[in-house]
Amino acid sequence: MIIAIDGPAAAGKGTLSQLLAERLDLAWLETGSLYRAVALRMLRDGSDLRDSRTAVKAVEHLDANDLNDPELRREDVGQAASRIAANPEVRAALVGFQRDFARQPPGRVRGAVLDGRDIGTIVCPDADYKIFITATPEARARRRFLELQEDGNQGDEQQVLATTLERDARDSERSTSPLRPADDAYLLDTTNLSIDAAFAALMAYISGSSDCILG
């Protein structure tokens, strides 16, 4: 079983995809962490984010431990990752890793949940389930602002909104693998939903469109 989950930043897809993986006993890959790991490596090295050759080299040197670095969640790393993700050479270098994970997930599990920006359209177009999770920019900016406050970071909510809109435009307008729902994706707007309510909607969708045993 392969579940592809896409959507913009702070729509809730990371939390929901992890919950689905736990509930259905599937492996989970937050593909954004791959781009963040590449970005963090380049930022630490002082590399030019526009340098394709250096970025691809950073992909080649990725280590599983890199995906657990707490600094991956830094705001500047997220912005850098969005810029790097627009690089077709970087995306091509990481697609193979993601497809291998989906087809042969680690552990004794029956499938995988992958979340990102182009899972249902590019990485796993034949996924059993394609889900696109979204919310208004204002709702997503509010969530991100509260996360930053919880982490002890000071910020301005309007600036977070501006950054959110900037990233949305960059992700949606890039020529390579733009952010968009697959034609057959299940759309879920979480603007006015709690995590519990959104998770219940996803479970209802999966159980209602499959004969699989949900456990």
**Strand order, beta sheet including 27-30:** 27-30, 112-116, 2-6, 129-134, 186-189
Q: How far apart are CA 62 and CA 106, in angstroms?
A: 17
Tell me the per-residue pLDDT of 39-85, one tens digit each, with 9 for 90 and over: 999 999 999 999 999 999 999 988 878 988 999 988 899 889 989 98
Angstrom distance (rounded) from CA 60 to CA 189? 36
pLDDT confidence tier of residue 209, bands split at 50, 70 and 90 = low
Angle at 97 between CA 93 and CA 100, to 5 degrees: 140
- 59 close to 93: Cβ distance less than 8 angstroms: yes
**Token pair of 196 as six digits:** 């519990």
Q: Dump pLDDT digits (tens) for 101-122.
A: 999 998 889 999 999 999 999 9
Task: Quote the CA–CA distance of 172 and 211 in Å, as a whole number.
Answer: 34
Report the topology of domain 2-200.
Rossmann fold (3.40.50)
Question: What confidence score (pLDDT) does residue 210 get?
Answer: 53
Q: Where are the domains of the chain?
A: 2-200
Residue 64, pLDDT score: 75
The answer, yes or no, to whether residue 28 has pLDDT greater than 70, is yes
17, pLDDT greater than 60: yes
Q: In this predicted model, what pLDDT tens digit does every residue of 144-188 receive, in sequence order?
A: 999 888 888 777 999 999 999 999 999 999 888 899 999 999 999
With a cut of 90, say whether residue 23 has pLDDT above it. Answer: yes
pLDDT of residue 145: 93
Residue % of the chain over a pLDDT of 90: 77
* Residue 202 CA to its chain's centroid (Å): 17
- Residue 214 near residue 24, CB atoms below 8 Å: yes
Indicate the angle between helix axes 75-85 and 32-45, nearest 10 degrees: 110
Residue 211 or residue 96, greater confidence: 96
Three-class DSSP category at 1:
coil
pLDDT computed for residue 211 by the predictor: 46
Rounded to two decimals, the pTM is 0.86
